[in-house]
Amino acid sequence: MTQMDDLLRRVRLKAIETAERLPPPATAAEVAQAESVLGFRLPPPLARLYREVANGGFGPDYQFLPLSGEGRTAVTDYREERRTAESDGVAHWPAAVLPILDWGCGMYAAVDCRSTEGTVLLFEPNGVDDEWHHAWYVDAETLAGWLETWLSETGWYEEDTDEDGEIRPWEPARQRLSE
């Protein structure tokens, strides 16, 4: 068993324990279809999470968005954010950054799909005017690390965490938004 196998096993167990109703995992065909619609591949850890744990409905606070299916999904949110940026003429959402969780108040957890380990980003647009690169922060260098903070209940979003709440800016944001 690899470290990722063990992590996904632990995530699945917590998801079963904490989710009111856990949807079935996405199929390989559903993941491939989502990648086709998005125009980019998901990092392997994210694809495995959707295929082996569930198609959304678990995770911290507001829980993972489903990758695909009916209604609101990670794919529809990504396409809407990109469409809004194009129609407004103001780039606020970089290509190949998939929203995975809506924190509310316009904030998202998102995965940089250009990183093989799935860097998890925080999009915090509140108080940002036209300098959208200031809305992007690194929440975790890897999806695996981000999931570990959820499992250990040490994420910045936890009420009783000892974390100092300091999240560093995502340095590539300015360049990625100008692409």
Give the mean pLDDT of 56-70.
94
Nearest-angstrom CA–CA distance, 148 and 49: 13
Q: What are phi and psi of 135, to 5 degrees?
A: -90, -5
Q: Is the Cβ–Cβ distance between 38 and 98 less than 8 Å?
A: yes
pLDDT at residue 89, as a whole number: 78
- What does the pLDDT look like over 13-61, one tens digit per residue? 999 999 889 999 999 999 999 999 999 999 999 999 999 999 999 999 8
Q: Is the Cβ–Cβ distance between 112 and 121 less than 8 Å?
A: yes
For 87-108, letters b (16+ CB in 10 Å) and e give eeeebbbbbbbbbbbbeeeebb
0.75 exceeded by pTM: yes
Domain ranges in the chain are 3-177
Give the CATH number of domain 3-177.
3.40.1580.10
Q: Which two tokens stand for residue 15?
A: 């998801």
